Structure 1
Amino acid sequence: MIIITGATGFIGSCLQAKLYQLKERTVIVDWLGDQGKWRNVAKHIPDDIILPENMDNFLATAKDVTAVIHLGAISETTAKDGDLVWKTNVDLSMRLWKWCTKNEVRFIYASSAATYGGANQAQDFNDDPQNIGLLKPLNLYGWSKQAFDMQVLDIVAQEQPTPPQWVGLKFFNVYGPNEYHKGKMISVVKVKFDDIVQGQAPKLFKSDQEGLVDGAQARDFIWVGDVVDVILWLLNNPQVNGIYNCGTGQARTYLDLAYAVCGAMNVSKQVDFIEMPEALKGQYQYFTQADMRRLQGAGYNKAFTSLENGIGQYVQDYLLKADSYL
């Protein structure tokens, strides 16, 4: 049995769908809430759904657990409640780490590319453990992910007991179906799609960085199916341990993305540039690009989906359908 936290959310529900297809027994630790998240798992119902406040009682008697995949977190980059973020993103993660260590259960958890903070050069996105302690996240969310990564690395450095497999994945900009509950944290792909549906040209933020033209801001956008493939590969390769980037290794501009959405929707390639909100200034990453050499060196050799193909799948197979859920 595999336990997945956060599995009524975006990445977690896509992973749940694949494990369900593979006939794996799963238990979800998450809230369904009142934002329609039940639809994310409606087609691939788990063996059980445990509310997070009941997780410790469940774990006290859980048997035959082979892995915990910890994706649950407060993931808003604009989160302000430091106590709640620490309790959720750090304390809860360490409780699961300790349980997995004690019960010899594999542990795969979500870190984040937000830990890289204001990095803006390709060489700055190196996931070598010796570099992780030097990172300077720009927001509370990224800092909380960095804090747990550092706790894990300290445990390993001190040669304290660990789960039989432990992996942290620094997710870059993930997009795909089942993200519809995410509000302001929904992917840029979905936002541009909505612009076009409303009869408008896709809107992009103007650049407020000297020397960078509007639309040239670039991110490493990764199709959610590729993220799921990486997690499944880790489950099939229990000898792999460490903290790894999870992106495509190729930065693409926001203009590329907007044009790809236009192409997938068969509309003219036009964009409108708008001013960047004050709340984002100073916390905005102008460039991200995952250095994937360490994961590939560990044996992962599957090609990543191109931005155009991923957006094409998302738009044609989901967003334009009456039922847009995976």
Structure 2
Amino acid sequence: MILITGAAGFIGSNLAAGLNDRGLTDLVLCDRLRHGEKWKNIRAREFDDLIAPEALPAWLADRRERLRAVFHMGAISATTVTDGDAVARENLRFSIDLLDWCAAAGVPFIYASSAATYGDGSQGFDDRFTPEALAELTPLNLYAFSKHAFDRIVCRRRVDGGPLPPQCVGLKFFNVFGPNEFHKGSMQSVLTKLWPTIAGGGTVKLFKSHHPDYPDGGQKRDFVSVRDAERVMLWLLDHPEVSGLFNVGTGTARTFKDFISAGFAAAGRAPAIEYVDMPPEIRDKYQYFTEARLDRLRAAGYAEPMTRLEEAVTDYVRGYLSRENPYR
């Protein structure tokens, strides 16, 4: 039996799909569906149970011998969230409790960190897992703070010999995109947000650059397909001897213009892009460049190539966005 928190979310639901594709159906999905259409992300899934996060401690009480692994993908993931107490409760306290349970039960624990922990990127994007390296990073929002704080807790336990599961892995996801993003609202990838305009023949709007080193549309991100993120997680399930903190990206930064132009190409259109001013309230927190270093993931043994941007976008557009049912 495998437990996935945040299982109806973006990355969690794709992981559940990947496990189903392997013939694994003894999944327990932990999430809140609320009042929207998030449930559609798991509509096609096979699973044994669906439980709310607040019910998880009681559910875990007598499952110590039955769980093969825990994938902890659940969190308040909006980078604009301002309720610090909610973030501390949902992202940090919940994660610590689950970490402690997995350590006591001897169950592998694989959790979602984030490239947002790197802050403005001035310290680079090297996933060194030492107290000194983590202390150099300065998250720029509450969400990133919660992920960074948990990374540091895990790191201190590694150094001090504190309680940890037999396999404990943190994954610093970069700019992941793909099917099952619709429930994320403003946190959707820019391609998902702009797809109706692309498909409808309109002109999309991207932010102007307010940095002298980057042209309009030239801001760079490490855009990575959710299918690549899924493959990394499945590989970790197969390799319980691997622990650590790893970046999950392609290792190659590409521009927003590249990303959206690939969407236009997949739709059979020439790019039609207009550049607009970035809102002043986010300018001082804006990352102009992210690029995952994959050295440590490769050194751990993960050898699968990451999907090239144009190929990943084409698969997403033609396999999902342009179809009547865009869900996986």
The TM tier, using the shorter chain, reads over 0.9
1:37 aligns with 2:38: yes
**Cα distance in 2 between the residues matched to 1:277 and 1:290:** 26
Partner of residue 9, structure 2:
9
Q: Quick one: which amino acid aligns to residue 142 of structure 2? A: L
Which residue of 62, 65, 68 corresponds with 2:67? 65
Is the partner of 1:248 in helix, strand or coil? coil
TM-score (norm 2): 0.97
Partner of residue 319, structure 2:
317
Equivalent residues in 2 for 1:200-279, closer than 5 Å? 200-279=202-281
CA contact (8 A) 1:4 1:29 kept: yes
| Alpha-carbon shift at residue 198 of structure 1 (Å) | 3.8
CA contact (8 A) 2:40 2:327 kept: yes
Partner of residue 85, structure 2:
83
**Cα distance in 2 between the residues matched to 1:203 and 1:197:** 14
1:136 aligns with 2:138: yes
Q: List gaps (5 residues or longer) in structure 1.
A: none
**Cα distance in 2 between the residues matched to 1:125 and 1:138:** 15
| Alpha-carbon shift at residue 195 of structure 1 (Å) | 2.2
| Alpha-carbon shift at residue 45 of structure 1 (Å) | 2.9
| Alpha-carbon shift at residue 194 of structure 1 (Å) | 2.2
**Cα distance in 1 between the residues matched to 2:194 and 2:55:** 38
Deviations along 1:278-322, one digit per CA (max 9) or x if unpaired, are: 231111110000000000010001000111001000100101101
Partner of residue 164, structure 1:
166
CA contact (8 A) 1:195 1:203 kept: no
Which residue of 194, 197, 214 corresponds with 1:195? 197
Deviations along 1:79-113, one digit per CA (max 9) or x if unpaired, are: 10001001111100000000000000000000000
**Cα distance in 1 between the residues matched to 2:155 and 2:128:** 11
Bigger shift: residues 126-135 or 258-267: 126-135
Question: In percent, how many aligned pairs have the same letter?
Answer: 46
RMSD of aligned Cα (Å): 1.1
Deviations along 1:256-275, one digit per CA (max 9) or x if unpaired, are: 01110110001112210011
CA contact (8 A) 1:192 1:261 kept: no
Q: Quick one: which amino acid aligns to residue 145 of structure 1? A: K
Partner of residue 284, structure 2:
282
Is the partner of 1:65 in helix, strand or coil? coil
Is the partner of 2:271 in helix, strand or coil? coil
| Alpha-carbon shift at residue 240 of structure 1 (Å) | 0.6
Q: List gaps (5 residues or longer) in structure 2.
A: none
Is the partner of 1:167 in helix, strand or coil? strand
Is the partner of 1:124 in helix, strand or coil? coil
**Cα distance in 1 between the residues matched to 2:99 and 2:127:** 21
Deviations along 1:116-170, one digit per CA (max 9) or x if unpaired, are: 00015xx700001132221111111101100000000011111122101000000
The number of equivalent residue pairs is 324
Bigger shift: residues 197-206 or 153-162: 197-206
Q: Quick one: which amino acid aligns to residue 60 of structure 2? A: L
**Cα distance in 2 between the residues matched to 1:19 and 1:268:** 37
